Structure 1
C-alpha cells in the first residue's frame, strides 16, 4: 500500500514498501507521473521546431523539443498533437511513433512517448500554461546536433528523441 506524501497537479510523491528480487524489503519513494509526449516537428524545409523555454526549477532557459504531460486517461498521441499546437502554433498531419524512454527510473515512473511530426501547418493557436514562457525556434538538423555537441542543448528528452529519429531514418 502506498502513502501520498505530496501532490501537485497530476504528479504525486508517494512512499511504499517494495520487495526487491533478492527478497529484501525497502521503503521506496516515487514520483508518480502520468507520462508525457515529446515531439520532433520537421518542417517542409527540413527544419526542426524547438522551444526556448524558461525552466523555473533550473532558473534558466533551455532549448528543447516541444513536450508535455499527459492528462489523466489521455493517450500519448492525443497529448502530442495538443502539446505541439499549444507550444509551437503548428499542427501535424502525420505523427510517427518512435517508442518511449524512461528518463528518471530511479525515482520516477514517468514514461515519455516519442514522436516525429511531419506535414506541419501553422495554426498560430498557442496556448501555453501560466508557468510556461516559450519562444519558438527553428534549426536545421546540423545546427541542432552542433548545439548538442557544444553543450548548448542538455535536455535529455530532446537528445533521446533526436537520436531515435536519426537511428530510425526519419531525419
Structure 2
C-alpha cells in the first residue's frame, strides 16, 4: 500500500505508510510529518532568561516554556528562530548560536527541533502572536528555572533539553 495522508493541518500531516524495518519486517506505520521547529533560549545582558507562560489548549493549562515555533515554507532554522523570538517575546537577537538538534517524539513524529541561544537582545515593538497564542513574557534567573524543573513547574521537554544543552556547551558560567 502506498503512502496515505490521513489528515492535514497547517503544514503538518498525519501519514500512514509501509515501513521497512532493519530486521526485514514490513509494518504499517503512522507518522506525524512535521517541517521542524526552532527553540530559542534568550539570555538578557544581565543574565536573565526570557520564558513564556503560555496557555496550551491541548493540555488545557498554562505552561512555562522557551519561545519556539514551526519552520515555515523554505525558511532556514535560524531564520525561524529569529522570527519566533521577535513574534513571541518582542526581542530581536544580534547573536544566535546554534546548539544542535532534538528529536522530541521519534516514536510517531519526524519533527527535528533546532536549538539556539539568543544574546545581544534588543526590545522591538510589540508581540505578533498567532490567533491561538496566549502568552505572558517573563524574565527569570537560571537557578529559579532549575528549581522549577526539579519541582515539575517546568515540564516542557524542549525547554528542559535546550537549557541542559546550553549548560553542557558552556553558555552558563
Instruction: Decide: shared fold, TM above 0.5.
Output: yes
Give, in whole Å, the separation in 1 of the partners of 2:51 and 2:157.
Answer: 14
Structure-2 residue corresponding to 1:69: 70
Q: Note the alpha carbon deviations across 1:50-109, whole angstroms, 9 max, x for none.
A: 100000000000000000000021110000000000000000000000000000000000
Give, in whole Å, the separation in 1 of the partners of 2:125 and 2:135.
Answer: 14
Equivalent residues, number = 171
Deviation at 1:137?
Answer: 0.6
Confirm whether residue 153 of structure 1 aligns to residue 154 of structure 2: yes
Structure-1 residue corresponding to 2:90: 89
Q: Note the alpha carbon deviations across 1:119-163, whole angstroms, 9 max, x for none.
A: 000003310100000000100010111100111000000000000
Matches within 5 A, 1:9-48: 9-48=10-49
Give, in whole Å, the separation in 1 of the partners of 2:132 and 2:157.
Answer: 21
Which runs of no fewer than 5 residues in structure 1 stay unpaired?
A: none
Question: The residue matched to 2:145 in structure 1 has which SS?
Answer: helix
Give, in whole Å, the separation in 2 of the partners of 1:35 and 1:125.
Answer: 26
Structure-1 residue corresponding to 2:128: 127
RMSD of Structure 2 on Structure 1 (CA): 0.6
Give, in whole Å, the separation in 2 of the partners of 1:47 and 1:154.
Answer: 20
Question: The residue matched to 2:162 in structure 1 has which SS?
Answer: helix
- The TM-score with structure 2 as length reference comes to 0.98
Structure-1 residue corresponding to 2:104: 103
Deviation at 1:2?
Answer: 1.2
Give, in whole Å, the separation in 1 of the partners of 2:57 and 2:26.
Answer: 36
Question: The residue matched to 2:62 in structure 1 has which SS?
Answer: strand
Confirm whether residue 116 of structure 1 aligns to residue 117 of structure 2: yes
